[in-house]
Amino acid sequence: MKMINNLKKILILTLIVFLSICGYVKADEEDSENIDFSEIWNEYITSSTESSNDPVLNSRAAIVLDRKTGAVLFEKNAFSKRAMASTTKIMTAILTIESGKLNDTVEVSKKAASIGGSVLGLKTGDKLSLNDLLYGLMLRSGNDAAVQIAEYLGGSVEGFASMMNEKAKELNLVNTHFVTPHGLDNPEHYTTAYELALLTNYAMNNKTFSKIVNTKQCSININGIPKSINNTNELLGVLNGVNGVKTGFTNNAGRCLVTSITRNDFSVICVVLGADTKKFRTKDSISLIEYTYKNFERYNLEDVIYKNFENWKNEHIVNVEKGKEDFLEIKLSDIKYDVYPIKKEKVKDLKIEINCIDKIKAPVKQDEKIGELIVSIDNDEIERVDILCNRNVERKDISYYYKDILFNMSRYMEEYIN
């Protein structure tokens, strides 16, 4: 009897392992871990200093991306491929919004109603708007909402995955691949922290998307009956400046969190992937966000570029050979970044290098490139601006020389007569 019981235990354990490997034992947002934001914040305050040292993180990968310039302000394994769990739904949501069919009424399929993990609680035959599905997708992180959206817009989960991958290609996300609209574990479903930040930055430029992910609580209608749902994002509404975006959790991906923050017109995207616990992902996110706003400032790059260029012009002349003008008027092309986030301790290391020819043969065309102005810190290039000809300069031809001779002769005769 004892041997039979032991065999039963072995068979049960083997079945659990098998199902886990096959992807049937999955989780998404369905963890019982409760966190106390105040407790985590106090722990952060106690352990943090004004030091500019990079935060030490539990998360396997992380990044802070400046929204305006795309500059990477912090990164840890940000360019390595990883599972992304429900942060996948950022792509699902933006494709749904861009479809322009949010007022459509959708009937829930058996496949959508039977999906596991984090769900909105939809049943086969339920009817609701695509807009309400979208809120259920992003606030409650409903996998059932994700599948139903995929079937409605893509014809099937596979069809919608193709749409997701086409969008990823359009956004130049070369290390991102989608298989599902919800992000449950699959070895062919992956991204990087960097590309997830790029995708989020793109999505946050959409007003409908940014409104949804900045919603803490709302009511949707299923079969005309109101249902209240809350946002799973633990930082929304409690940490200064947070205005989205999405949580995620699977056994393979670990705890994930993508956060959008704006303080004093300084906007960043923070991504943490692969944290061991919900508490760690929250603490890591807080540490990265506070580190960013303590240590970086938005430097007025435009002013320093133009000031250096004008000073350089006062000391340098570009001569024109065989031109109808002896000296060339020059200007700068459009500056890409008027302001740029720079670590406060690195502002003193900002370097402006100007490389420009000192003479040119006519003819010269307006906006012809003759040099470059390069801005860098520690050999990392920030900005490269072309130096251009400000207007056309024609080449002297025979008629020009003939007119010049006649002009000089007339002056000489006039002086001789007088």
Confidence (pLDDT) at 17: 42
What's the pLDDT tens digit per position in 34-54? 888 888 988 888 877 555 688
Confidence (pLDDT) at 53: 81
CA distance 269 to 11: 46
User: Residue 354's beta-bridge partner residues?
Assistant: 373
- Mean pLDDT for 297-315 is 95
Q: Which helix (H) or strand (E) holds 145?
A: helix 143-154
Lowest mean pLDDT among 1-5, 176-180, 194-198: 1-5
Confidence (pLDDT) at 144: 97
pLDDT band for 209, please (50, 70, 90 cuts).
very high
pLDDT band for 330, please (50, 70, 90 cuts).
very high
In 3D, which of 115, 57, 111 has the Cα closest to residue 282?
57
Asked if residues 340 and 350 have their Cβ atoms less than 8 Å apart, the reply is no
Burial class of residue 99 in the structure, from the number of CB atoms within 10 Å of its CB (0-12 exposed, 13-18 middle, 19+ buried): middle
Q: Is the pLDDT of residue 87 over 50?
A: yes
**Start-end of H helices in 23-138:** 37-47, 89-99, 110-113, 130-138
CA distance 107 to 124: 8
CA distance 140 to 89: 11
What's the pLDDT tens digit per position in 112-169? 999 999 999 999 999 999 999 999 999 999 999 999 999 999 999 999 999 999 999 9
pLDDT band for 323, please (50, 70, 90 cuts).
confident
Confidence (pLDDT) at 20: 42
Looking at the chain, the whole-number percentage of residues with pLDDT higher than 70 is: 86
From the CB of residue 37, how many other CB atoms can be counted at a distance below 10 Å?
14
Q: Is the pLDDT of residue 327 over 50?
A: yes
Confidence (pLDDT) at 51: 59
> Cis peptide before 363, with omega less than 30 degrees from 0?
yes
- Domain spans, the chain: 23-295, 316-398
- Mean pLDDT for 374-402 is 85
Q: Is the pLDDT of residue 297 over 50?
A: yes
Q: Is the pLDDT of residue 14 over 70?
A: no
Residue 210 amino acid letter = S
What's the pLDDT tens digit per position in 88-102? 999 999 999 999 899
CA distance 333 to 372: 9
Asked if residues 21 and 267 have their Cβ atoms less than 8 Å apart, the reply is no
Q: What is the largest CA-CA distance in the chain?
A: 137
Confidence (pLDDT) at 407: 54
Q: Is the pLDDT of residue 9 over 70?
A: no
Superfamily of domain 23-295 in the CATH hierarchy: DD-peptidase/beta-lactamase superfamily (3.40.710.10)
pLDDT band for 396, please (50, 70, 90 cuts).
confident
Asked if residues 129 and 104 have their Cβ atoms less than 8 Å apart, the reply is yes
User: What's the CATH number of domain 316-398, 2.60.410.10, 3.40.50.620, 3.90.1150.10, 2.40.160.50?
Assistant: 2.60.410.10
Whole-number mean pLDDT of the chain? 89
Confidence (pLDDT) at 399: 55
Q: Can you give the length of the chain in residues? A: 418
Asked if residues 339 and 68 have their Cβ atoms less than 8 Å apart, the reply is yes
Catalytic residue set: 86, 89, 141
Confidence (pLDDT) at 37: 87
Lowest mean pLDDT among 21-30, 167-176, 386-395: 21-30
Q: Is the pLDDT of residue 27 over 50?
A: no
Confidence (pLDDT) at 8: 52
Asked if residues 117 and 143 have their Cβ atoms less than 8 Å apart, the reply is yes
Q: Read off the pTM.
A: 0.86
